[in-house]
């Protein structure tokens, strides 16, 4: 069984290393700043100004602090210019500007923490990391309208009018390409995304059913990510009490959490109904949250 503790240890060790690296950098930066006379003089002046302003406020003379506060603002800007100069020289930047590489943001695990946990979990499940395309100026013939819909979806994400898409169409009509492009663009916006083929997802379901991996972890990853793409639905083998049941559970929980998903499939709606069940079809075709988009073009692979 893939142990949950080992995955969390791997993520926590990553942040320990980042913390150590950042501490060394910050110490070096602080040393440079403390040896800059201009910076230390400004710091000293700011300390005195803050004291004067506080005393005037305490004695009820806050109306006399306007010029002092203006001077303080000017010095703060000067100090920041010096700080940024040394920061640029060090070429120092955080991997995550939200949590400053601590893995904690607003007393909760940061999105970057879950992104890393997702990455390590999928690796342990033999899901290969993919390279995703992004929007280009050259739109494949027949995908013009789909391209515009997808661009608006990415621009407004996560506050989209329609949360979910089901891309229906024959092989090679651009369904997977467009879903991959949406993920590629959202990854640029630091969204937490997961792309799985139906075979990969079905394999994960089978491991869950056999208790080879922690159910809570997998469900957390598949239902908490900002966007889940299930590609080529209908090409996976059907396992009794596994495929349809787990698939419905994942989709239902994502809908309940108001999380986005995209499904691509070569099946028609009637084929989805006969292959899975009426409840699953009902959940992925709710007009309040999902748009079913047909891909009727020629095979783009030819």
Q: Do 142 and 264 share a domain, yes or no? A: yes
Q: Do 171 and 279 share a domain, yes or no? A: yes
Residue 116 lies in a domain: no
* In contact, 199 and 207? CB cutoff 8 Å: no
Domain extent, residue 51, equals 4-90
Please say which residue of 65, 90, 115 terminates a domain. Answer: 90
For position 301, what pLDDT does the model report? 46
Q: Are strands 104-105 and 108-109 parallel, antiparallel or unpaired?
A: antiparallel
Residue 192 lies in a domain: yes
Q: Do 132 and 86 share a domain, yes or no? A: no
Query: Please, which residues have CB within 8 angstroms of residue 208's CB and are 6 or more apart in sequence?
Result: 215, 218, 246
For position 302, what pLDDT does the model report? 40
Structurally, the chain folds into a number of domains equal to 2
Q: Do 32 and 134 share a domain, yes or no? A: no
254: domain CATH number is 3.40.50.300
For position 1, what pLDDT does the model report? 61
* In contact, 276 and 153? CB cutoff 8 Å: no
Q: Do 288 and 206 share a domain, yes or no? A: yes
The segments of the chain whose pLDDT lies below 70 read 1-3, 297-302
Q: Do 203 and 74 share a domain, yes or no? A: no
Task: Give me the residues paired with residue 195 across strands.
Answer: 229
Residue 114 lies in a domain: no
Burial of 302 (0-12, 13-18, 19+ CB in 10 A): exposed
243-256 and 215-224 helices, crossing angle to 10°: 50
Please say which residue of 34, 67, 90 terminates a domain. Answer: 90
Residue 151 lies in a domain: yes
For position 86, what pLDDT does the model report? 83
For position 297, what pLDDT does the model report? 60
For position 261, what pLDDT does the model report? 97
Q: Do 157 and 79 share a domain, yes or no? A: no
Three-class SS of residue 118?
helix
Q: Do 174 and 269 share a domain, yes or no? A: yes
Please say which residue of 67, 90, 113 terminates a domain. Answer: 90
Q: Do 81 and 131 share a domain, yes or no? A: no
Q: Do 291 and 219 share a domain, yes or no? A: yes
For position 195, what pLDDT does the model report? 97
Q: Are strands 227-233 and 193-197 parallel, antiparallel or unpaired?
A: parallel
Residue 70 lies in a domain: yes
């Amino acid at each position: 069984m893939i142990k949950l503790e080992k995955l969390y240890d791997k993520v926590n060790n990553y942040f320990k290393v980042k913390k150590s690296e950042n501490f060394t950098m910050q110490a070096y930066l602080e040393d440079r700043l403390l040896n800059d006379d201009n910076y230390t003089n400004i710091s000293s002046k700011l300390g005195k100004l803050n004291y004067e302003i506080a005393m005037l406020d305490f004695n009820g003379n806050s109306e006399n602090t306007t010029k002092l506060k203006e001077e303080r603002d000017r010095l703060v800007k000067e100090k920041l210019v010096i700080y940024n100069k040394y920061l640029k020289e060090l070429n120092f930047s955080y991997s995550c500007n939200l949590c400053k590489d601590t893995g904690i943001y607003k007393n909760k695990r940061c999105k970057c923490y879950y992104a890393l946990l997702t990455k390590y979990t999928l690796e342990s499940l033999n899901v290969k990391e993919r390279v995703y395309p992004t929007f280009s100026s050259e739109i494949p013939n027949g995908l013009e309208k789909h391209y515009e819909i997808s661009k608006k979806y990415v621009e407004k994400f996560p506050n989209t009018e329609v949360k979910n898409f089901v891309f229906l169409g024959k092989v090679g009509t651009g369904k997977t390409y467009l879903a991959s492009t949406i993920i590629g663009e959202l990854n640029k916006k630091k969204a937490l995304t997961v792309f799985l083929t139906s075979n990969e997802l079905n394999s994960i379901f089978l491991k869950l059913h056999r208790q080879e991996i922690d159910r809570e972890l997998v469900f957390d990853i598949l239902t908490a990510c900002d966007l889940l793409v299930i590609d080529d639905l209908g090409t996976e083998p059907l396992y009794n009490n596994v495929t349809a049941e787990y698939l419905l559970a994942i989709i239902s929980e994502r809908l309940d959490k108001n999380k986005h998903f995209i499904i691509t499939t070569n099946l028609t709606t009637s084929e989805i109904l006969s292959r899975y069940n009426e409840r699953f079809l009902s959940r992925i075709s709710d007009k309040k949250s999902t748009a079913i988009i047909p891909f009727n073009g020629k095979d783009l692979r030819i």
